[in-house]
């Protein structure tokens, strides 16, 4: 698995979302590399890890990342948040957890109303087999939708998607399966480390209410809403997101 190391200071692991790769965090690297040692992950089947055959499942990926990184704060965006949360709940090496537009459960249920319908990810899975590139384009549009900088963010996501080659279809299907079927809410009450939850006010995939509800279940959690931010708030509001991360890591000592 490809993990780029940038900067010096306390270690922070960055894990990207569905279909992208670690290059999407470029705005955060510009702002954080002077203070932190950033370990930027390309998940199996994505970016420079395109040929990595590790199954895109929580225990396998988390174990591989933990084996290759020092004790660190783990920060996950969107799908990446599931890996970061699982690591925080199971790995003593995790010093803190930062969730950006991520939630322990991405689909709606009777006791979890602030999420998307299960059919959304099921439809993406069906569409991938028929229109691979068109499906990726529609997902990127959802990432940017609602943000006050939607057009610029969509251009950035499109360029990032192809910068390291297209993701492997196998990894995309496994990622959709995780988004559709994972529920890590049970890990929150016993979470052994502090956590930071950063939501985009206009996010169409992970609502701020869902992130606030998740944070309320975890001891030592702090939640913030990025005004006018979409699903990728670190693109259009990089200064604000970076400042929250800096404060959170510094407070850990």
Spatial separation of the C-alpha atoms in residues 48 and 73, rounded to whole Å: 23
Residue 131 is predicted with a pLDDT of 84
Q: What is the DSSP string of 13-24?
A: EEE--TT--GGG
Per-residue pLDDT 10s for the chain (253 aa) are 999 999 999 999 999 999 999 999 999 999 999 999 999 999 999 999 999 999 999 999 999 999 999 999 999 999 999 999 999 999 999 999 999 999 999 999 999 999 999 888 888 888 887 888 888 888 888 888 888 888 898 899 888 888 898 899 999 999 999 999 999 999 999 999 999 999 999 999 999 999 999 999 999 999 999 999 999 999 999 999 999 999 999 999 8
**CA atoms within a 13 Å half-sphere pointing along the CA-CB vector of 173:** 8
Q: Is 220 left (phi over 0), alpha (psi -120 to 50) or beta?
A: left
pLDDT value at position 33?
A: 98
- Nearest CA to 101 out of 125, 82, 126 is that of 82
Query: According to the model, what pLDDT value does residue 38 have?
Result: 98
Q: How far is CA 7 from the centre of its chain?
A: 20
Q: What is the pLDDT of residue 253?
A: 82
Domain of 19 in residue numbering reads as: 3-252
Q: What positions carry a catalytic annotation?
A: 78, 203, 231
10 Å Cβ neighbour count for 141? 14
The whole-angstrom separation of Cα 51 and Cα 57 is 16
Cα–Cα distance, 177 to 174 (Å, whole number): 5
Give the residue among 46, 85, 43 at the shortest CA–CA distance from 64.
Answer: 43
| Residues forming a β-bridge with 221 | 195
| Alpha-carbon gap, residue 19 to 78, rounded angstroms | 11
How far is residue 40 CA from its own chain's centroid?
12
Q: Show the tokens assigned to 126.
A: 């069906």
At residue 81, the pLDDT reads 98
Residue 2, Cβ neighbours under 10 Å: how many?
A: 19
Q: How far is Cα 100 from Cα 113, in angstroms, rounded to an integer?
A: 19
What are the φ/ψ torsions at residue 197 (nearest 5 degrees)?
-125, 110
Task: Please give the full DSSP string across 155-211, using - where no structure is assigned.
Answer: HHHHHHHHHT-PPPHHHHHHHHHHHHH-B-GGGSTT--S-EEEEEETT-SSS-HHHH
| Strands of the sheet with 221-226, listed across from one edge | 3-6, 37-41, 11-15, 72-77, 94-100, 195-200, 221-226
Domain count, the chain: 1
CATH number at residue 81: 3.40.50.1820
């Amino acid at each position: 698995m490809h993990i780029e190391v940038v900067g010096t200071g306390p270690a922070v692991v960055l894990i990207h979302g569905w279909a992208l790769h670690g290059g999407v965090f470029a705005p955060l690297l510009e702002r954080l590399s002077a203070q932190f040692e950033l370990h930027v992950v390309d998940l199996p089947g994505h970016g420079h890890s395109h040929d990595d055959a590790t199954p895109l499942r929580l225990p396998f990926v988390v174990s591989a990342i933990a084996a290759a990184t020092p004790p660190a704060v783990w920060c996950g965006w969107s799908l990446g948040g599931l890996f970061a949360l699982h690591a925080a709940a199971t790995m003593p090496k995790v010093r803190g957890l930062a969730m950006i537009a991520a939630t322990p459960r991405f689909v709606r249920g009777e006791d979890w109303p602030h999420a998307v319908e299960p059919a959304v990810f099921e439809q993406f899975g069906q569409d991938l087999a028929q229109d691979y590139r068109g499906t990726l384009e529609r997902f990127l549009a959802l990432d940017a939708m609602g943000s006050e900088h939607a057009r610029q963010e969509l251009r950035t996501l499109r360029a990032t998607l192809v910068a390291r080659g297209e993701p492997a279809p196998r990894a995309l299907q496994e990622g959709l399966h995780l988004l559709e079927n994972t529920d890590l809410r049970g890990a929150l009450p016993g979470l052994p480390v502090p956590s930071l939850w950063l939501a985009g006010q206009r996010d169409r995939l992970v609502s701020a209410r869902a992130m606030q509800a998740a944070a309320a279940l975890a001891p030592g959690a702090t939640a913030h809403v990025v005004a006018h931010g979409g699903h990728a708030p670190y693109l259009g509001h990089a200064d604000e997101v970076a400042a929250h991360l800096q404060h959170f890591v510094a407070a850990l000592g």
